[in-house]
Structure 1
Amino acid sequence: MFKPKGSANQGLNIIIVGCGKVGTTLVEQLVKEGHDITLIDQNRQKIQALTNTYDVMGIVGNGASYSVQMEAGIENTNLIIAVTESDELNLLCCTVARRVGNCAAIARVRTPDYSKEVGYLREKLGLAMIINPELEAAKEAARILYLPTALEINSFAHGQAELVKFRVPKNNLLDGITISDLGKKSPANTLICAIERDGKVHIPSGDFIIHEGDVISFVGSRKVSKPFLEYIGFKTHQVKDTMIIGGGKAAYYLAKQLLHMGVSVKIIEHDRARCEELSILLPKAIIIHGDGTNEDLLKEEGIEYVESFVPLTGIDEENILLTLYARQVSNAKVITKINRITFKDVISRLDLGSVVYPRYITSEAIIAYVRAKKDSMHSNIETLYHMFDYRAEAIEFLVDDESAVTNVPLMDLALKKNLLVCFINRNGNIIIPSGQDCIMVGDTVMVVTTHTGFNDIQDILQ
């Protein structure tokens, strides 16, 4: 066992099995939020690297083994998170932990066969959550292709509300307008909740002036996103067709959703056996056997005329190069999937269109659960998204108890600076609040803030 470098925290005791990309992202975040972490992995180097960098315990061994879990302190653990490369091992780790300790369990499960049975598995194995990064990344990509002028779309209130991100183009009517003037003129009931300019994130007040090049996030009910973007001069029709490079799990999930939306799909995959599999799984898609990084093949298959292009190879560098190539030869909407987070500054300076990070999607869902579990008195976290490279958070709270924030007009609450209450969801009705509106028990409430680590709705108060 590797010893930690620091003292005990007042957070939860959490065991993470698997020190791959998602495991590492979770360690980074959960240590920051003050939890006691024990890592289990069979790779000694990975354990050593993480215990040297972070204040965590590390055990080299099989996370599904009873004796290894006992050594890791499973009997005093609040939560086990299994994110190894193997679905079966993840499910077994959680099953053993649920029998031995009295802890909650989260498993990463990526195989399509299992993902159809998520409800059954979760209930029968007593899991708190089963998370599928490829499926979640595909959902995010499908949302973007439904509204291709957006850079990013996150959904809240069980899909009733959306947080949409876009960049203000040259000569756009938003250039030089204040937030309050836009609010008066726009026919769609939306709220601009965050603006990134020159690398700095602003939670804007009414007198904030928008400029060309600003990256803006706005929130509204699902049905107003399109009218708002149309009002500011963006095209909003969903794409008619897409070309996907790579035929892995994420490609399968994305193609399935796009075909369901009526989008034609072409997948280029180099492995013949996988092509045959995909043609049975996705009879309505066109499956091409070939090298998706071959320029001639891409031209032959119509990259210059396609409306959207999504490289989903397993290699980030290939995805980035393919995106940059598509940008040069076509007007396609591009989405780039990136797994690693190294060279982040370089990546953010490249024109990669919409970027999807599966490991972030996974860690956000898990962190939302962890924060909700951390004894929130009056509320629960329903949804959590990190915005602008972790410099702001969008959090949706379920208000399940009376507290200092309920039944008081928002204008009378002493809210923290750099924080906006963006919407109140009352019985499925999305309210963009004014100062007179109150938060009530039973509502879900979404806030955007540059503060981090909120666990409870009362954290919005000074």
Structure 2
Amino acid sequence: MRSSKKTQKKERGLNIIIVGCGKVGSTLVEKLSKESHDITVIDQKNEVIQRITEDYDVMGFTGNGASYSIQIEAGIQDADVLIAVTESDELNLLSCTIAKKVGDCATIARVRNPDYSMELSYLRNQLGLSLIINPELETAREIARLLRLPSALEINSFARGHAELVKFKIPKGNLLHDKPISAMHELNCDMLVCGVERDGNLIIPDGSFIMRGGDAVTFLATPTNSMDFFKKIGVDTHKVKNCMIIGGGKTSYYLGKQLISSGVEVKILELDEKRCEELSVLLPKALILHGDGSDEDLLREEGIESTESFVPLTGLDEENILLTLFARKCSDTKVITKINRSTFSDVLDSLDIGSIVYPRYITAEKILAYIRAMQNSVGSNIETLYHIFDNRAEALEFKVEKDSPVIGKPIMELKLKDNLLLACLNRNGKVIIPRGQDVICEGDYVVVVTTHTGFTDVSDILKWQ
């Protein structure tokens, strides 16, 4: 069955087929439809296709995305890329394999099963896939990064880990309260403040902006300078020594594995006895407990009041939120809340639930970065892409290619677009917080923070007369 809401051919962009319209697929449609791509969606549920085509300007087909006839009908022979993000790893891989045989397009597959996690490079090479993305593994990596610096609400990594965009909340009574942004630089920490969130508003501050306790400040610095800054303002910087995880799903397995390898003691509470047995084999150094992680008495008995970090990873957003609120009430533990849905963000912001991770956005951002790199006719130079400030801005990392118009002039002479901040340069592994006299060179990696969307090349930062 076919549904359509297309009105006219897009002026630019790629011809994209998305197989699977669940959480990730819907998020991709939402993001990509804003960037003038020609999008076709395939899903086995007709009601899902009807909803997507009513909400967005896309073509829809009801059927099996791995079906040759369905792919032909959806236009695979003219597609630039097929993205398979159904709930089935095998269906995703088969959809991509058929697309490579029938069409001449890039293919992206979501693969979640830990059984495949050690074989991703083999699968990618043998099947000719452009990208394999594992949402649970990427989510676990983000959580592990946050547990390394518990005072941070968000940490986004750039320059192959040499630079970080860190968000933290100024504690009440902190020495930064009632001080201007320029006071941060007086601490002799090489960093750049990129934004301040206050009362739901986003502010791109100058040096005279007065900070207050409760402000959420986002800055860019090297990991070493981030630690140094937090120490100087009296904020805890030590990596957690132990972690209590609720739920024994795929994300819990990946997170437990990463934490154990970095020397963190891991305790996992899981209700399903069979899954407990599986985890005991997969994670022999973790303490796996069979029990209801939402049981208050059990949580107290297992030491929720003394644990240094608490991460509920159940399949229910509501349960994760309630568990986080309970943990905050019991102790000052570092809490991280996994949210699958993106609704009620204003309500979540008003709750004291620590760091929040959205697996659907983590997955979508990896795919969006690849799609934008494909659009760049000069060559793939988008390295990293994050949506920040509750999706009100983007942070992008570009590689500067030969003959780029940004090369060779002092930054102060470049005609940069409004609502854009050139946050850092990475030159041969050395991170530079740029000043007006600095010059961008070929081979540099440039991090940009902007409220604009759709940048595909570093030259997009310039005003064109």
- Shorter-chain TM-score bucket reads over 0.9
Counterpart of 1:417 in structure 2: which amino acid? D
CA drift of 1:24 comes to 0.4
Report if aligned partners of 1:163, 1:217 keep a CA contact under 8 Å in 2: yes
CA drift of 1:453 comes to 1.6
Counterpart of 1:34 in structure 2: which amino acid? S
2:408 maps to which residue? 407
Separation in 2 of the partners of 1:177 and 1:456?
A: 37
Separation in 2 of the partners of 1:221 and 1:346?
A: 32
CA drift of 1:428 comes to 1.1
Report if aligned partners of 1:243, 1:310 keep a CA contact under 8 Å in 2: yes
1:442 maps to which residue? 443
1:41 maps to which residue? 43
Counterpart of 1:33 in structure 2: which amino acid? E
CA drift of 1:204 comes to 2.2
Report matched runs for 1:42-441 at 5 Å.
42-183=44-185, 185-377=186-378, 380-441=381-442
CA drift of 1:418 comes to 2.0
Separation in 2 of the partners of 1:174 and 1:412?
A: 33
CA drift of 1:137 comes to 0.7
Farther off after superposition, 389-398 or 169-178: 169-178
Residue by residue over 1:59-80, the C-alpha shift from the partner in whole angstroms, topping out at 9 and shown as x without a partner, is: 0111011111000000000010
CA drift of 1:378 comes to 7.0
Separation in 2 of the partners of 1:135 and 1:85?
A: 15
CA drift of 1:209 comes to 2.4
State, as a whole percentage, how many aligned pairs show the same letter.
Answer: 63
Report if aligned partners of 2:373, 2:379 keep a CA contact under 8 Å in 1: no
CA drift of 1:188 comes to 2.3
Farther off after superposition, 244-253 or 159-168: 159-168
Q: 1:378 to 1:71 in 2, by over 3 A?
A: closer
Q: Secondary structure of 1:25's partner? A: helix
CA drift of 1:379 comes to 6.4
Q: Secondary structure of 1:207's partner? A: coil
CA drift of 1:6 comes to 2.1
Q: Of 11, 14, 20, which aligns to 2:13?
A: 11
Q: Secondary structure of 1:2's partner? A: strand
Q: Secondary structure of 1:348's partner? A: helix
Counterpart of 2:257 in structure 1: which amino acid? K
CA drift of 1:261 comes to 1.2
Separation in 2 of the partners of 1:290 and 1:40?
A: 40
CA drift of 1:403 comes to 2.4
Separation in 1 of the partners of 2:123 and 2:55?
A: 35
Farther off after superposition, 318-327 or 2-11: 2-11
Q: Secondary structure of 2:336's partner? A: strand
Separation in 2 of the partners of 1:239 and 1:91?
A: 38
Report if aligned partners of 1:422, 1:432 keep a CA contact under 8 Å in 2: yes
Q: Secondary structure of 1:404's partner? A: coil
Farther off after superposition, 266-275 or 409-418: 409-418
CA drift of 1:202 comes to 2.0
Residue by residue over 1:300-336, the C-alpha shift from the partner in whole angstroms, topping out at 9 and shown as x without a partner, is: 1111111110000011111011111111112111000
Counterpart of 1:181 in structure 2: which amino acid? A
Report if aligned partners of 1:250, 1:312 keep a CA contact under 8 Å in 2: yes
Q: Secondary structure of 1:440's partner? A: coil
CA drift of 1:262 comes to 0.8
Counterpart of 2:229 in structure 1: which amino acid? F
Counterpart of 1:98 in structure 2: which amino acid? K
Farther off after superposition, 110-119 or 283-292: 110-119
CA drift of 1:447 comes to 0.7
Counterpart of 2:33 in structure 1: which amino acid? V
Residue by residue over 1:248-286, the C-alpha shift from the partner in whole angstroms, topping out at 9 and shown as x without a partner, is: 000000011111111111000001111001001111100
Q: Secondary structure of 1:224's partner? A: helix
CA drift of 1:115 comes to 1.4
Separation in 2 of the partners of 1:182 and 1:298?
A: 40
Report if aligned partners of 2:422, 2:448 keep a CA contact under 8 Å in 1: yes
Separation in 2 of the partners of 1:418 and 1:57?
A: 34
Q: Secondary structure of 2:8's partner? A: coil
CA drift of 1:109 comes to 0.6
CA drift of 1:44 comes to 0.6
Report if aligned partners of 1:419, 1:450 keep a CA contact under 8 Å in 2: yes
- TM-score, structure 1 as length reference: 0.98
Separation in 2 of the partners of 1:316 and 1:100?
A: 40
Report if aligned partners of 2:175, 2:233 keep a CA contact under 8 Å in 1: yes
Report if aligned partners of 2:246, 2:312 keep a CA contact under 8 Å in 1: yes
Q: Secondary structure of 1:314's partner? A: coil
Report if aligned partners of 1:374, 1:455 keep a CA contact under 8 Å in 2: yes
Separation in 2 of the partners of 1:299 and 1:115?
A: 34
Aligned residues: 461
C-alpha RMSD of the superposition:
1.2
Residue by residue over 1:194-218, the C-alpha shift from the partner in whole angstroms, topping out at 9 and shown as x without a partner, is: 1112222122222322222211111
Separation in 1 of the partners of 2:462 and 2:233?
A: 34
Separation in 2 of the partners of 1:398 and 1:457?
A: 8
Report if aligned partners of 2:269, 2:290 keep a CA contact under 8 Å in 1: yes
Counterpart of 2:289 in structure 1: which amino acid? I
Q: 1:379 to 1:460 in 2, by over 3 A?
A: farther
* Structure 1 unaligned spans of 5+: none
Residue by residue over 1:401-454, the C-alpha shift from the partner in whole angstroms, topping out at 9 and shown as x without a partner, is: 222211111111111222111111111111111111111111110011122221
Separation in 2 of the partners of 1:126 and 1:423?
A: 35
